[in-house]
Amino acid sequence: MANLRVKLPGLDMKNPVIPASGTFGFGYEFAKFYDINVLGSMMLKGTTLEPRYGNPLPRIAEGPSGMLNAIGLQNPGVEAVMNEELEKLRPLYTDKVIANIGGSAIDDYVETAKRLSTHDMVGALELNISCPNVHCGGIQFGTNPEMAAEVTKAVKAVSQKPVYVKLSPNVTDIVAMAKAVEAAGADGITMINTLVGMRFDIKTGKPIIANKTGGYSGPAIFPVALRMVYQVSQAVQIPVIGMGGIASGKDAIEMMIAGASAVAIGCQNLVDPYACPKIIDEMNDILEQMGIEDIHAIIGKSHQY
């Protein structure tokens, strides 16, 4: 067995594999398939101060090696997440989870973060400043470095747990965004969120997604994610959790070689509910075949080139 244990701010993980927010609900649906305690951690469904229904249907469309979604941050609100959803998860998962926070204004983020960061099951927060599917849903913070820094600073001031900021790929210079949130006190970066895309019905010309645009994810975006993680992880001192199209143990290893200290698995969970446990096993097998005893040996291995 290779050593897969990684330690990141707020998270002491037996392996670096984390289901990504929005593709794993609040975890318990996957316990119908397997013992979710095998996971390093998990990123909870994006949570807002008030309950949100989200966007009208259809919210899902398909594309080459990927999918487009515009859920619109559907969630039952922070109080129900803390009192109901996390209580359903408690008997099923013993390690710390990462609470993902969405909002429309700085005050929303601050209030939600203040409450969630006190929860005993939460090891860290992930600020979603990059949801492309909600009007005034955070993307304005995710495309402007000054605003990203402002919301990061405000949340850091109230959070009792480390704060990760989730970056959008829909920007001209993602390194500038990363540096801005690092300077504002972020403990880590998670990246990348989805790429904004569309599909149309060729008979009517109408967008398939009711929201018109959605976020594209899946293996199709993997090389884009690798490139961005490669750039950002060399430009900042804080750890990067890499995600975007990872579908196998080999992909996860490649993402860590690009510079990620851990990986998140997104829509592959939807296609294959066993994606995460399979990836954990495959990572171990690959490291053993390569004669590598500790996962840390590969983190950022590409940076010499």
- Residue 123 near residue 100, CB atoms below 8 Å: no
Does 273 engage in binding with another protein (CB under 8 A)?
yes
In the set 131, 136, 267, 276, the catalytic residue is 131
Smallest gap from residue 92 Cβ to another protein (A): 12
Q: Whole-angstrom Cα distance, residue 192 to residue 182?
A: 16
Least distance (Å) between residue 30 CB and another protein:
7
Closest to another protein by CB, 239 or 245: 245
Complex with another protein: residue 31 or 106, whichever CB lies closer: 31
Known active-site residue 131: yes
Contacts to another protein from residues 75-94, by CB under 8 A: 76
Report the residue number, 36 or 262, with the smaller CB distance to another protein.
Answer: 36
In the complex with another protein, which residue's Cβ is closer, 133 or 159?
A: 133
Residue 208 Cβ vs another protein, minimum distance, rounded to whole Å: 8
Query: b/e string for 218-256 if b means 16 or more Cβ within 10 A?
Result: bbbbbeebbebbbebbeebebbbbbbbbbbbbebbbbbb
Q: Which is nearer to another protein, 114 or 278 (CB)?
A: 278
CB of 28 to another protein, least distance (A): 9
Cβ proximity to another protein: between 27 and 142 the closer is: 27
Count of residues in contact with another protein, rule CB under 8 A = 38
User: What is the CA angle 8-116-264, rounded to 5?
Assistant: 40
Q: Which listed residue (10, 22, 102, 132) binds another protein by CB under 8 A?
A: 22
241 to 260: interface string for another protein, x by CB under 8 A: ------x-------------
The window from 108-116, 119-127, 189-197, 265-273 that contacts another protein (CB under 8 A) reads 265-273
The residue within the footprint of another protein, chosen from 7, 37, 50, 62 (CB under 8 A), is 62
**Binding residue (CB under 8 A) for another protein from 150, 272, 281, 282:** 272
Q: Which x/- pattern, by CB under 8 A, does the window 179-218 give for another protein?
A: ---------------------------------------x
**Known catalytic residues?**
131
Positions in the binding site for another protein (CB under 8 A): 22-25, 29-30, 32-34, 45, 51, 53-54, 57-67, 69, 71, 74, 76, 218-219, 247, 267, 269-274
